[in-house]
């Protein structure tokens, strides 16, 4: 039988050779001393290995749309020409060496109140002080995230500025050769902060009811959609549940996804959590696929699923049963950058190999 995972998918004018993709994974590896937010050889190696490994779509780590939007001082950006040039080198490499005609997209992001933090392997935790290269953060209000510095409440002018920054970053992404763009509206970062009633207590047009809380996300979608080619697909990552009482739930996420599709989003990348520290996540294999399935069914939009999907059989099942249109692989790809070549072999599908590696094509076992 033909593999569902290894069937092609068309998003606008973009054809993906199969439905096994690379999830955005922050590397915290930019060097502020040699170029703030500029991707370099590490990023080329990291993303290029997935291209050689047979991934059909590779999403970069979160690329901040302005300096204050970086998660840490070592995070990547796409808010200046030097950064865009660094990304252009990587997109050209992926397009040239992708074994499965790999496509590459970037994830545009702003960390909001979760910005200016120490990177995971720094040996420190919490907000980075100005003396160590940190900066003041912003958010919908002044509520701080679990031990981090309190953000400044964004004014209407601040919000307009961030929307414009997303649009400007999208233009740079197109010019840098990306095939698609994902807007990061999940994991407790700025857009999710505005969406969640656990965080957003504004009483103006950018808060209040669900429509007001979703307004910034949809405004960013509109701004990006208006500056990228009509032929380019637009993705949106959301947290389908806050996993905390009074927060976002699956029904609210269906409504957001439906609205996003009406505004020009072509696929919703469905994750969850990250808004508050007291979340209770029942993590396990495929624990988020139910959200993707419900959004796909009720909102009528294509979805990608992610989260503890590590085996080819799990990924195949998610697509074959209609739970999602594609599967984003993260930690399993770090363990095995050739995950897609192995998956194709196990599922009985012939996937092209880089010619330099053809001598290793398995005949009986991988």
Report CA dihedral (204, 192, 140, 169) to the nearest 10 degrees. Answer: -100
User: For 221-231, how does the pLDDT look when each residue is reduced to its tens digit (9 = 90+)?
Assistant: 999 999 999 99
Q: What does the pLDDT read at residue 283?
A: 93
Nearest CA-CA partner of 121 in 26, 251, 233, 10 = 26
User: Looking at the annotation, which residues are catalytic?
Assistant: 189
Residue 148 domain-assigned (yes or no): yes
Asked if residue 127 lies in contact with residue 116, where contact means CB atoms within 8 angstroms, the answer is yes
Residue 142 domain-assigned (yes or no): yes
CATH at 255: 3.20.20.70
User: For 122-138, how does the pLDDT look when each residue is reduced to its tens digit (9 = 90+)?
Assistant: 999 999 999 999 999 99
Q: What does the pLDDT read at residue 40?
A: 97
Report CA dihedral (18, 19, 20, 25) to the nearest 10 degrees. Answer: 120
The alpha carbon of residue 204 and the mean position of all alpha carbons in its chain are separated, in whole angstroms, by 28
Are β-strands 234-239 and 180-185 bridged in parallel, bridged antiparallel, or unpaired?
parallel
SS3 string, the chain, reads CCCCCCCCEEECCEEECCCEEECCCCCCCCCCCCCCCCCCHHHHHHHHHHHHCCCCEEEEEEEECCHHHCCCCCCCECCCHHHHHHHHHHHHHHHHHCCCCCEEEEEEECCHHHCCECCHHHCCCCECCHHHCCCCCEECCCCCCCCCCCCEECCHHHHHHHHHHHHHHHHHHHHCCCCEEEEEECCCCHHHHHHCCCCCCCCCCCCCCHHHHHHHHHHHHHHHHHHCCCCCCEEEEEECCCCCCCCCCHHHHHHHHHHHHHCCCCEEEEECCCCCCCCCCCCCCCCCHHHHHHHHHHHCCEEEEECCCCCHHHHHHHHHCCCCCEEEECHHHHHCCCHHHHHHHHCCCCCCCCHHHHHHCCCCCC
| Statement: residue 242 has pLDDT above 90 | yes
pTM beyond cutoff 0.95: yes
The token pair that represents 356 in the structure block: 């330099």
Q: Among the listed ranges 4-13, 33-42, 357-366, which one has the minimum average pLDDT value?
A: 357-366
| Statement: residue 207 has pLDDT above 80 | yes
- pLDDT-based confidence at residue 155 (cuts at 50, 70, 90): very high
Report the pLDDT averaged over residues 199-218: 98
Residue range(s) defining the domain that contains residue 189: 9-360
Residue 4 domain-assigned (yes or no): no
Report the pLDDT averaged over residues 85-112: 97
The token pair that represents 261 in the structure block: 């599709």
Report residue 107: phi and psi, to 5°.
-105, 115
Q: How far apart are CA 44 and CA 364, in angstroms?
A: 32
- pLDDT-based confidence at residue 366 (cuts at 50, 70, 90): confident
Report the pLDDT averaged over residues 169-190: 98
Report the pLDDT averaged over residues 95-124: 97
Q: How far apart are CA 2 and CA 95, in angstroms?
A: 26
Report the pLDDT averaged over residues 40-45: 98
Q: How far apart are CA 326 and CA 289, in angstroms?
A: 11
For residue 334, give Cα distances in angstroms to 26, 53, 227: 12, 11, 33
Q: Indicate the average pLDDT of the chain.
A: 97
Residue 252 domain-assigned (yes or no): yes
Domain count of the chain?
A: 1
Residue 365 domain-assigned (yes or no): no
Residue 3 domain-assigned (yes or no): no
Residue 90 domain-assigned (yes or no): yes
| Statement: residue 1 has pLDDT above 80 | no
User: For 327-364, how does the pLDDT look when each residue is reduced to its tens digit (9 = 90+)?
Assistant: 999 999 999 999 999 999 999 999 999 999 999 999 88
Residue 316 domain-assigned (yes or no): yes
């Amino acid at each position: 039988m033909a593999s569902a995972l290894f069937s092609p998918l068309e998003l606008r004018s973009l054809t993906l050779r199969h439905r096994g993709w690379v999830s955005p994974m922050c590397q915290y590896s930019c060097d502020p001393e040699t170029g703030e937010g500029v991707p370099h050889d590490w990023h080329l190696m990291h993303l290029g290995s997935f291209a050689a490994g047979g991934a059909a779509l590779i999403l970069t780590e979160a690329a901040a749309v302005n300096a204050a939007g970086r998660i840490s001082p070592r995070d990547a950006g796409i808010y200046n020409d030097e950064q865009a040039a660094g990304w252009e080198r990587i997109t050209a490499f992926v397009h040239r060496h992708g074994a499965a005609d790999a496509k590459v997209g970037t994830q545009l992001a702003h960390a909001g109140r979760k910005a200016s933090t120490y990177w995971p392997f720094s040996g420190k935790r919490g907000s980075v002080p100005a003396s160590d290269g940190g900066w003041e953060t912003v958010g919908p209000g002044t509520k701080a995230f679990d031990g981090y510095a309190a953000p400044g409440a964004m004014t209407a002018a601040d919000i307009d500025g961030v929307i414009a920054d997303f649009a400007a970053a999208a233009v740079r992404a197109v010019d840098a050769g990306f095939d698609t763009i994902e807007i990061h509206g999940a994991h407790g970062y700025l857009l999710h902060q505005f969406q969640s009633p656990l965080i957003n207590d504004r009483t103006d047009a950018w808060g209040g009811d669900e429509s007001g809380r979703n307004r910034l996300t949809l405004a960013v979608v509109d701004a990006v959609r208006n500056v990228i080619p009509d032929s380019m697909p637009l993705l949106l990552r959301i947290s389908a549940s806050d996993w905390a009482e009074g927060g976002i739930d699956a029904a609210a996420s269906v409504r957001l996804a439906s609205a996003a599709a009406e505004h020009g989003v072509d696929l919703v990348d469905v994750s969850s959590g990250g808004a508050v520290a007291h979340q209770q996540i029942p993590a396990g294999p495929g624990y988020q696929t139910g959200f993707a399935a419900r959004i796909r069914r009720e909102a009528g939009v294509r979805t990608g699923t992610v989260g503890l999907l590590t085996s080819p059989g799990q990924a195949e099942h998610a697509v074959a049963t209609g739970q999602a249109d594609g599967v984003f692989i993260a930690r399993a790809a770090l363990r095995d950058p050739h995950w897609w070549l192995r998956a194709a072999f196990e599922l009985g599908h012939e996937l092209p190999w880089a010619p330099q590696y053809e001598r290793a094509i398995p005949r009986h076992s991988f």
